[in-house]
Every structure is written in C-alpha cells, then in structure tokens.
Amino acid sequence: MIPALVKAQELNYTNITVKQAKHMIKHTQNLVIIDVRNESEYNLGHLYNANLIPLDIVEWETNPRPLPTVPANDTILQDIYNRESARFKLWEHINDVIIIYCQIGARSELACQILIDQGFTNVYNMIGGITAWMEAGNRIYTTSYHATVDYINDDFVVDVNPFLLFQSQCTTCQNNNQSCSTVTNLPDENLTIIEETENSIMWLATQEINGTIIEFTINQTTVWHQDYSTGSINRTVTLLSTIYESEGNFSQKITLNSEIQHQEYNMTINTIIRPSDSQTYDSSITTIDYIPAGSKEIVTTELVNFTSSITLSQLYEGISKAVHEIGKEYKHSEDENLTVFHDRYKDIKRETRKLSIIVENDLSDYDKEILKSAAIIQDVQYPCVAQQIVCAILTGITCTVACLFSFSIACFFCIAYEPLIIEFGCAQIYGEYCSSDQSTAPRYPIDVWSETFGTGNVAYENNALGGGRDGQFAIITAPNTGDHGKLFVQFDDYGLGKIHFYGAGAASILYFYVHYGGDYQYAGSVYVTSETEYYGTYIGWPNYYDHGVIVGVYPCYAYIDSISAGR
C-alpha cells in the first residue's frame, strides 16, 4: 500500500519524503528505483537495488532499441549484445511504480518530468535525494566509508558514515567530481646513485621545472628492521629515514612499513611521517593495502581522519578501532557480497593492533605525538584513489598526501620543495612509491587501429596515442541501428589491474575489452553523457594484458582523449 503523498504542484509526478520512500520500497510490489546521478557518483554509493540511468540518457532509455543480428564470428559484439539484452530496460516499466532520486533532488525532478512526458504513469521523486536518505540513518550500498577518530579521556571515539555522506558535507570537495587521472606535462627528472652502503643509499636528483634546473640529494637510511614471523604469518617491519638536501636546506620524512604475508592474503601497512621538531611530528598518512588470495570483483576503499593529536602507537590503535567499526558496517550490509569484508577487516584490525604494540615496545624513541593524521584502507594494491578521497585528505593534512597515488615518476620531492608544490600543484611529490624503476608507471598506447560496421566510424584514431590529456580526441560514432566502431589500442608494455580512459560525448555507453589468454575478455563499461563535461573512469582488471579495444555501439557519439593501462 502506497502512503498518502504530496503531488508536485502542476506536475504529474509525486514528491515523496525519504520516510515515505522507505515505506514504499518495503511494501510495494514491482517497484523500480532509478538513480539519475553520474556513474562515478553511483559507484561511490547508491540505494540497494537502484538502477543507474544518468539524467542525460533518461529520455534515451524510455524508448526500445532494437538489437541487430550479430556476426557469428565476432565474440566481442556477441558479448556486448548479450549484456544489452540482459541490461535493465526502463521502457518495460512504463506502468510500474518508479522512485527516482539523485544527490539532493534537483536532477530527479527533471528526470521525473521526462518520464511523465514519455507516458510513464506512476513516477515519484524522492525529496532530498540520497543525501537525505543517508542523513535519516538509512543504509546504502557502498564500498567506501569515512571514519572520524577522536581521542578523548584516554579512549577512542569512532564515528563511521558512508564516504558519500562525508563528501556531501565537505565544502572543499564539491567541485571534485572527476576521477583521478594521469598527470600531464610533468617535468623530467634524473636520479643518479652517488653512494650506497648496506643500510643507506644516496641519490643525486635533478629536475627541470619551467626551464629551471633544480638539484638536490636524497639520502635514505634503514634505521631499524625486524622480522616478526610466526607460524603461517611472515611479518617484517622496517623504519626508514629519508633526508632531502639542497643548498644547505634540509627536510626529512620517516617511513614505517610493515609487510605481512599469509596464505590467505598479503598486507602492507605503510606510514609516511613528516617531523615538525625533535619531539613532535607534523603529519602522517597511512596506507593499508589488503590483497586477498584469488580474484575479486569488488574493491573497497576507506578513509580514516583523526581529529585530535595522537602518538604513533596510538595511531595504529585508533586505526584498529576504526577498522572494527567499518567491518561492522559490512557485516550488516543488505548485500551478502559485501559481508565478506567483515572477516577481511578482522585481519586488518589484528595487524594494526600488532603494529601498535611493536611501536610501543621496540620503537619507543619514535613514539611521538602526531598533530595531524589520516589513513586510507583498501583491498587492492595502489589503485587510483577517487579524487574525492584525495580531497578529503587534503582537508585534514597537506598537499604532500594528495599525490600519494600519483602515477608519475615525477611525483618526487614534495617535502623538500613545498613552495614549488604550492606553485606547480601536487604533481611533483612523493617518492614513497616512485623510483627510477618505471615498472609501475602507466602504460600508454603506442599503436592504434580501428574496425567499423555500417555507418559506424572511428575518426582521428591517432589522437589516442601517447599519454596524458591534451584535448585531442579520437571520435567513435555509431548513428544507426547495427552500427559500431572499435578502437584497438596496443600498449607499450603489459598492463595490470587498472584501465583509465578520458573524454566526453553524448548518450553513449563505451565497452572495454582486454586481450588475455588468447581472447578478448570484458573489462568494464562507462556511460558517456555530456559533450561539455569531461569524464574519466577507472576499470579494474585482475590479469596482465597487452592491448585492448574500446567499443561503441548504436547509439554512440564519444570522444576519447587518453587511455592508459596501470601496473
């Protein structure tokens, strides 16, 4: 039974509150939920059982699209049309009860009116959108949480919410809707080893920025190393000190790294610390990478912000408390595919607690107060973290943290050259995961070719070559039923684990396949919804590949600016 509702003034759809929507979802048969936000917003969190139809393609989705006969020898097109056949079809629900929502309610109003104009009969707009839904304490499907940790009266107070809710309340994050991307036009750098001993290594680094040559030394010393392996767990903990020097100016960072190997998972806990003086640390950023055995399709990323100063041992104790609370959120998820993370987070809780004890017992000289701290917890190694998360870290720490996951080798040396960071942005920073060995750098296309069918076309395909976003586009069009265009890209080396592509377009779905095991395997898809709003996307893929193909089928009009394969 549908509760008493408020009819939108002079409109044919109905506005409902979050409370009314929740009642309808629980008690109405054949109810359909539509999320009209962008794909990146949807991926960060959505109502359970919600179907993604971005606002720009709502009208397109109200009309049936015939699927043409597929050539028997084209396995890629056959897979696409199988997916199209199984995909949610809005036009089949013209007389069903439909609840539409967006972030705060503006886009959903437009979508509701579009459906009414197209003849849909039972359309409801959820006032306040998903933000109001979360603020009312209702759960959503999400794989990203934000935890706030405060240390009060010798105890930790932890507050956990979906990261999407945190983002909606973060005033400095409002304009950060693009996915993170490769950084373009970065200056070249050169590293030369000038001294190496058993426990230390010194590099001479030179870098050109806007025609100016900058030269400095980097001296990295292993201060402490210990093996804590027991039974089925191999655990090693290392403390590093890195000193940057140029023209008599010094800067230091301290790195504490714990590597854990277990038959069911590998885990890395890595903390970068920026000293303030001999007694205090200015800031720290901790990344925890949990890699379970076997393949996985769901990736989680959590952010932990500390709102009070804590010592280094308390940092890991606080992270342990936050992980415990986040694990409980997954335990109570309505999607059984997410409940597995409750057990995985038990492992993280145990290891961060163990590291807290190690610091307290064996590294007491380094167990100092940290003024500002944050942590990122993820179950995939070094992924492209959403720009919203980087923004959140920035609100609590420094530009130094923001580029932790920069792809470029040129992300060195922020600590020594903070003024340059302010002037040139965060692209120059962070040597922790950067080295002269470019094996983890992104892979860019070195060759491209295309195939088309019907009146489909791939134009300016060479614009997809090379790396970085330069505003030069390859264009895939498929204007008529049965048309398609395929843009094949050969990378300069094998890629692994992540694919990024950037561009714009109108009312299109692009499909991406990678060549693996002698055949093309589906890697993911992306909605392209705007000719003016630049989109960027990340697709995870668990195995190595040397080339891939982007496919646009009718109707498609998409610009492809850049493509990169991760390592």
pLDDT on residue 137: 94
Count of domains observed in the chain: 2
Q: For residue 521, what are the β-bridge partners?
A: 514
Whether residues 456 and 406 share a domain: the answer is no
pLDDT range class, residue 226, cuts 50, 70, 90? very high
Q: Which of the listed residues 416, 440, 464 is the one where a domain comes to its end? A: 440
pLDDT range class, residue 72, cuts 50, 70, 90? confident
Over residues 432-460, mean pLDDT: 70
**Distance in angstroms (rounded) separating the CA atoms of residues 270 and 377:** 11
**Distance in angstroms (rounded) separating the CA atoms of residues 31 and 530:** 29
More confident of the two residues 440 and 84: 84
Whether residues 510 and 431 share a domain: the answer is no
More confident of the two residues 97 and 217: 97
DSSP labels, 401-465? HHTTT--SGGG--TTTTHHHHHHH-GGG---TT--S-GGGSPB-EEEEEEEEETT-EEESGGGG-
Q: Which of the listed residues 440, 468, 499 is the one where a domain comes to its end? A: 440
Whether residues 247 and 376 share a domain: the answer is yes
pLDDT range class, residue 403, cuts 50, 70, 90? very low
Q: Which helix (DSSP H) or strand (DSSP E) does residue 551 occupy?
A: strand 535-553
**Closest to 317 measured CA to CA, from 289, 350, 363, 291:** 350
**Distance in angstroms (rounded) separating the CA atoms of residues 97 and 87:** 19
Whether the bond into 383 is cis, omega within 30 of 0:
no
Whether residues 177 and 263 share a domain: the answer is yes
Could you tell me the sign of the dihedral formed by the alpha carbons of 503, 506, 507, 508, in that order?
Answer: negative
3-state secondary structure of 143: coil
**Closest to 421 measured CA to CA, from 183, 178, 202, 171:** 183
Q: 112-133 burial, b for 16+ CB within 10 Å, e for fewer?
A: bbbbeebebebbbbbbbbbbbb
**Distance in angstroms (rounded) separating the CA atoms of residues 340 and 290:** 13
Whether residues 355 and 499 share a domain: the answer is no
| pLDDT exceeds 80 at position 435 | no
Reported as a single tens digit per residue, the pLDDT across 331-362 is 999 999 999 899 889 999 999 999 999 999 99
Does a structural domain hold residue 110?
no
pLDDT range class, residue 465, cuts 50, 70, 90? confident
The residue type at 197: T
Over residues 101-118, mean pLDDT: 96
**Distance in angstroms (rounded) separating the CA atoms of residues 419 and 212:** 14
Reported as a single tens digit per residue, the pLDDT across 177-224 is 443 333 334 445 578 899 999 999 998 988 776 677 878 888 999 999
| Residue 4 DSSP symbol | P
Over residues 519-534, mean pLDDT: 73
**Closest to 405 measured CA to CA, from 380, 388, 428, 430:** 430
For 469, the domain range is 445-565
The residue type at 473: F
What is the average pLDDT score of the chain? 80
Does a structural domain hold residue 301?
yes
Whether residues 215 and 331 share a domain: the answer is yes
The residue type at 470: D
| pLDDT exceeds 60 at position 1 | no
pLDDT on residue 363: 97
pLDDT on residue 230: 83
**Distance in angstroms (rounded) separating the CA atoms of residues 100 and 111:** 8
Over residues 430-452, mean pLDDT: 59
Whether residues 433 and 489 share a domain: the answer is no
Between the alpha carbon of residue 198 and those of residues 224, 236, 251, 432, the distances in Å are 12, 18, 23, 20
Reported as a single tens digit per residue, the pLDDT across 354-397 is 999 999 999 999 999 999 999 999 875 444 343 334 333 433 33
| Residue 230 DSSP symbol | B
Structure pTM?
Answer: 0.79
pLDDT on residue 69: 74
| pLDDT exceeds 80 at position 407 | no
More confident of the two residues 403 and 155: 155
CB 33 within 8 A of CB 59: no
Pair type for strands 301-306 and 145-152: parallel
**Distance in angstroms (rounded) separating the CA atoms of residues 254 and 20:** 53
| pLDDT exceeds 50 at position 440 | no
Question: What is the domain-level CATH number for residue 501?
Answer: 2.60.120.260
pLDDT on residue 6: 52
pLDDT range class, residue 84, cuts 50, 70, 90? confident
CB 523 within 8 A of CB 563: no
Whether residues 455 and 392 share a domain: the answer is no
Does a structural domain hold residue 188?
yes
pLDDT range class, residue 10, cuts 50, 70, 90? low
More confident of the two residues 235 and 176: 235
pLDDT on residue 249: 80
pLDDT range class, residue 494, cuts 50, 70, 90? low
Whether residues 393 and 454 share a domain: the answer is no
Whether residues 364 and 229 share a domain: the answer is yes
pLDDT on residue 524: 80
| Four-point Cα dihedral 550, 551, 557, 562, nearest 10 | 0
Residue showing tokens 């139809």? 53
Whether residues 417 and 542 share a domain: the answer is no
DSSP labels, 336-402? TTTTHHHHHHHHHHHHHHHHHHHHHHH-GGG--EEEEEEEEEESSSS----HHHHHHHHHHS-HHHH
Does a structural domain hold residue 113?
no
Reported as a single tens digit per residue, the pLDDT across 267-325 is 999 999 989 899 999 989 899 999 888 756 677 889 999 999 999 999 999 999 999 99
The packing angle between helices 340-362 and 312-331, to 10°, is 170
Reported as a single tens digit per residue, the pLDDT across 20-65 is 999 999 999 999 999 999 887 898 899 999 999 989 889 888 988 7
CB 291 within 8 A of CB 267: yes
What number of CA atoms fall less than 13 Å from residue 137's CA on the CB side? 1
**Distance in angstroms (rounded) separating the CA atoms of residues 418 and 334:** 45
Does a structural domain hold residue 138?
no
Does a structural domain hold residue 281?
yes
Does a structural domain hold residue 548?
yes
CB 228 within 8 A of CB 237: yes
pLDDT on residue 441: 53
pLDDT on residue 472: 81
Q: Which of the listed residues 425, 440, 455 is the one where a domain comes to its end? A: 440
384-387, long-range: CB < 8 A, 24+ apart = 384/179, 384/180, 384/181, 384/498, 384/500, 384/538, 384/566, 385/180, 385/301, 386/40, 386/44, 386/144, 386/179, 386/180, 386/301, 387/176, 387/177, 387/178, 387/179, 387/180
Reported as a single tens digit per residue, the pLDDT across 143-154 is 999 999 999 999
Does a structural domain hold residue 90?
no
Pull the structure tokens for residue 401.
Answer: 């943290």
pLDDT range class, residue 493, cuts 50, 70, 90? low
| pLDDT exceeds 90 at position 498 | no
